[in-house]
Amino acid sequence: MSSELNPLARRPVEQRPVRVVSAHRSMRQRLRAIWDSRELLTYLVTADIKIKYKGTALGVMWSMVAPALSIGVYFLVFQVILKNGVPDYVVMLWAGMLVWTFFSAVVVNGTGIVVQRAGIVKKVAFPREILALSTVGTALVYFFLQLIVLGVLMGVMGHAPAWGDVWLLPLAFLGLLLLASALGIVLSAVNVYFRDMQHLVEVGIFLWFWLTPVVYSFQRTVAPMLGAKDLTWIYFLNPITPVVLTFQRVLYGQTMVTATTPDHAMLNVLPNWSALHYAVLNGVLIAASGVALIVAIRIFGRLQGNFAEEL
């Protein structure tokens, strides 16, 4: 049939726009997308806190009950029963627990967050890394609440920190923040495909805790054992060690103390390193954790393509 007899032939063919979707976005694009979704991140953090403590009398104050009970148990065992003789031991213990509670909360909660939020992952388009980062934000709120309580406790006890070294705390916490974020992001992606990861992480975190000098003194326990063979460096393969030691050194404020035991012996409870030494240790951690975070975001980007199918 000629074009003159076929009126459809005179209509131009409608051209649809061709969209090209990049399979792998650059790191700058991924970071930009995360930054643009900061309002969503804030909403997720706020919603998580509100839902968790909805209808409770104490609200977010419950976030300090579990750490306080843990500190109470460890204090009873090491200070009262085993009588380690360290004065104001609860300050040193709480300083280490601050670090560990934040780190373990981010890693454990971050591992299962994508699976828990499967509904919005399959229905809404947004940078999925935001989910893991929301656990960081929630843990950050609890961290500062617990830090305030420790400050009040130290004021009541009359225990002053090492004011001249307080600048080390933000440095140490930055390394901790980057490391926890990296682990939370990559484990949240792996857990979508390998659901046993959630349980393995919980067991691993338990073992990791006892490899970190939180409830026992690094200087009195680890250094004598490994220092005789020049193997102390092995203990610093645990990236949380320098952060815990920094918090304890600054908040406890002393390296040599007089024991509360009848003999009143002098105890070397923390390494007597200079502030520069602590700064270098934490600087190395920041650099390594920064690289780990970039790698974690890249791995997450590779694995998130099939999240909807797996969930």
pLDDT per residue over 249-291, tens digit each? 999 988 888 777 777 778 888 888 999 999 999 999 999 999 9
5 domain-assigned: no
Tally of domains within the chain: 1
Dump the DSSP string for 162-178.
-GGGTTHHHHHHHHHHH
Rounded to a whole number of angstroms, the CA Rg of the chain reads 25
10 domain-assigned: no
pTM: 0.85
What pLDDT does residue 56 have? 66
Residue 160: exposure state from Cβ atoms within 10 A (0-12, 13-18, ≥19): exposed
If you average pLDDT over residues 225-249, what whole number do you get? 84
Amino acid type, 290: G
243 domain-assigned: yes
Q: Copy the structure tokens of residue 112.
A: 């299962």
Between CA 111 and CA 116 the distance in angstroms is 10
| Domain residue limits at 97 | 30-310
- How far, in Å, are 157, 159, 267 from residue 152 at the CA level? 9, 10, 26
92 domain-assigned: yes
23 domain-assigned: no
22 domain-assigned: no
Number of C-beta neighbours around residue 107 at 10 A: 25
3 domain-assigned: no
